[in-house]
Structure 1
Amino acid sequence: MSGSAAVVPNTPPTAPPTVTRGGRGSWVGGGVLLLVVVLLAAVVPYAVTLGALSSLVMLFALVILGTTWNLLAGYGGMVSVGQQAYVGVGGYALIQLADAVGAPPWAAVLAAGLVGAAIALPTSYLVFRLAGGYFAIGTWVVAEVFRLVTMQIDGLGGGAGLTLSAFRGTDRVERVAFVYWFALALMVAVVLGTYLLMRSRVGLGLTAIRDDRVAASSLGVAVDRGRRLVYVAGSAGAALAGALVALSTLGVTPGSIYSVNWTAAMIFIVVVGGIGTIEGPLVGAVLYWALQQALAPLGTWYLVVLGAVAVAVVLLAPRGLWGLVAGRYQLFPTTHHVRQGAVGAIAAPGTGR
């Protein structure tokens, strides 16, 4: 290369990467969800029958159950098959607080959630001594103990249960409308509260615990405290849903309010919708509720159909129905995305560009 100098490529600096959370799809999806909530609050109550409103209250309760059970399994890594224990606690607490204490129905529902959390805290020290399948069986045993103890207490109606009398003398239209709007507001609050929790440092720690408890602990994450927080929060959510069910049906019985079918519904909703996502339980709850309404005339055969749907989804979409579109859409963005800055064109040697 005598008589000439080597040409050094002119490489422009790379733009710094940008960290984003969500995007245009999240804003559009959030707007659609907000529109749906507005329609549910301002239009639906005046366009459907009272029976349909009561049915929608059950849908809202299912969303709460699915969302809070997803906290346990999807973020805390704990598969509980005994959350019906706190559904029953919430139902009985509502009636006792509203009838015996005289609390307003809305306040009694919120207080029932606190009762569920207060009972779940000491219970967690018992069930957390178990792990894996033993934990799942242990939670079911706890639920059965709750049911049997309730049946032995005469003040709770024994095997016959209790009837809510706080609405005695209230017009049926006013009662159903109040329960509907209150259940809608409570569902929105639970979903948003879960979203904010998962966006926080606590939520990041829960994700680490779910993925690898040992690694999370080695990085300074308080594993036991995080799991206990999730267990108590999930149990409070189940108690809130149980209180809503009792408020809508005006009564509870041990056989129905402590039924394992509640936990079966939670598992179906989360697994089919998409475990470990906030959107998944919403999708799963709507699907479960729609199938329940459409297949009600079939009696117990609808359980067979639900099982077939669950098996099909697990085989064809292991991440759930929401997992099919989660890569392109995220209505509740809880994770960050790093976008690398654009790289300028590299000049070819000897071109002078």
Structure 2
Amino acid sequence: MASEPHITVERWTRASVVAATLALAVAALLALGPLVLGANAIDKLTTLFIYVILAATWNALAGYGGLVSIGQQAFFGLGAYAAVRLADAGMSVYPALVLAALLVGLVAWPLALFMLRLRGGEFAIGMWVVAELAHLLVNLDGLVQGETGTSLIVLNAYAADARHAFNYWISLGSMVAILGILFVLLRGRAGTAIQAIRDNEDAAASVGVKVAATKRAVFIIAAFGTALAGALWLATAITFQPKTYFSVEWTAYMIFMVLVGGLGTFEGAILGAVIFFVIEALFGAAGVWYLVGLGATALVFALFLSRGLWGTFATRFDIHLLPVGYRLVIGRRAPAHPSDVAVPER
């Protein structure tokens, strides 16, 4: 007698448990970086950590929440600007980096009340307008001196080796914290609600999902993470020039990382950041052709490999290392008699 189809709901697998354990172990080992690595390697890894934050937060906003923004540079620039202002007011520089991001997150709350009324392309363009407006307003600050900019001169109080190490540790800690927050959020009821809104906002509302509150939450978290990345970038660059920090290139980089790695996959954002980091290290000196190459690559992925590298790989081999959702496993029930044969469904 043929066995009946058996459907189970699965979240953690042996592979995902191993992957999560290894990820924590790698983070612990990376904490030893300044003790064993040279200044150049420390600076490069610091940059990578910031890229991971940018990719993960844009992926949460667009890949999971369906809120495609081309104006996230607004929060990146405001995070750096707020850090400059707090340091100028006499606050210790490294706490100022985190507080700056928190303040930008607070600013994002009333902004969300207006921007989240927009959908699709209107939201994307609206965020770009917000970024341009923020750029203009920051230029009016006498401390910034227009496009001339200013510097986070208080960092000069630290010896070079100490500054590199502190930048590394705070960037690593921020990356781990942001990834942890997003992982927990997306695995919970909020994550299910976020993805339901992305798939069909009206249908989600009809089954009781609090659409406005859920979208506002992911918007604010993405703003906070992006602002934190901007403040951390300021700590590594020291100088602050509005046209650099409010450049749309930052959002273009986020989009590239997520499209190449895998839109709407937790692992894909991390993989995309690593790939972008490697490409930049190898071809960043090529100038405008480097940017042309990034744009062409992103276009190819959008047209022919829409799931990205990780999304395609995970679908092809059914591997999920850091699962944030549930998946159905369809097979056969165990045979009731040794003579029954159970063949897994494909």
**Normalised by the size of structure 2, how large is the TM-score?**
0.91
User: Equivalent residue for 1:55?
Assistant: 44
RMSD of the alignment, in Å? 2.2
Deviation, structure 1 residue 30:
1.9
Distance 1:144 1:183 in 2: 27
Q: Deviations over 1:216-235 (max 9, x none)?
A: 00000011111111111111
- Name the CA distance, whole Å, in 2 between partners of 1:16 and 1:284: 36
User: Residue 343 of structure 2 aligns with which residue?
Assistant: none
Percent identity between matched residues is: 40
- Rg comparison, structure with higher value: 1
1:136-174: per-residue Cα shift (whole Å, max 9, x none)? 111101100000111112133322222112222311001
Does 2:282 align with 1:290? no
Partner of residue 95 from structure 1, selected from 77, 80, 84:
84
Query: Quick one: which amino acid aligns to residue 21 of structure 2?
Result: G
**Does the alignment pair 1:342 with 2:334?**
yes
User: Does the C-alpha gap of structure 1 residues 57 and 115 become closer, same or farther in structure 2, counting only changes over 3 Å?
Assistant: same
2:188 maps to which residue? 200
- 8 Å CA contact 2:143–2:150 kept in 1: the answer is no
Query: Does structure 1 retain, via aligned residues, the 8 Å contact 2:57–2:221?
Result: yes
Which residue in the other structure is 1:333 paired with? 323
Structure 1 residue aligned with 2:31: 41
- Could you tell me which runs of 5 or more consecutive residues in structure 2 were left unpaired when the two chains were aligned: 341-346
CA contact (8 A) 1:317 1:323 kept: no
Q: After superposition, where does 1:229-244 map in structure 2 within 5 Å?
A: 229-244=217-232
Is residue 105–residue 223 contact of structure 2 (8 Å, CA) maintained in 1? yes
Once the two structures are superposed, residues 92-123 of structure 1 have per-residue CA deviations (whole angstroms, 9 ceiling, x without a partner) of: 11122123132x33321211111111111111
What CA deviation, in whole Å up to 9, does each residue of 1:312-345 have, x standing for no partner? 3334422001112223222211222345642424
Q: Is the 8 A contact 2:108 2:220 kept in 1?
A: yes
The answer to whether the aligner puts 1:152 opposite 2:144 as a matched pair is no
- From 143, 167, 177, the equivalent of 2:155 is 167
- Which whole-Å CA distance do the structure 1 matches of 2:185 and 2:157 have between them? 41
Report what 2:65 is aligned to. 76
Aligned residue-pair number:
336
Equivalent residue of 2:320, what SS? coil
Question: Which 5+ residue runs of structure 1 have no aligned equivalent?
Answer: 1-8, 349-353
Name the counterpart of 2:344: none
- Tell me, in whole angstroms, the C-alpha distance in 2 between the residues paired with 1:155 and 1:304: 35
Within a 5 Å distance, the mapping from 1:177-192 to structure 2 comes to 177-192=165-180
CA distance in 2 between partners of 1:148 and 1:70 (Å): 27
**Map of 2:22 onto structure 1:** 32
Deviation string 1:192-230 (CA, Å, 9 cap, x unpaired) is: 110000111111111111111111000000111111111
How much has 1:83 moved relative to structure 2? 0.6
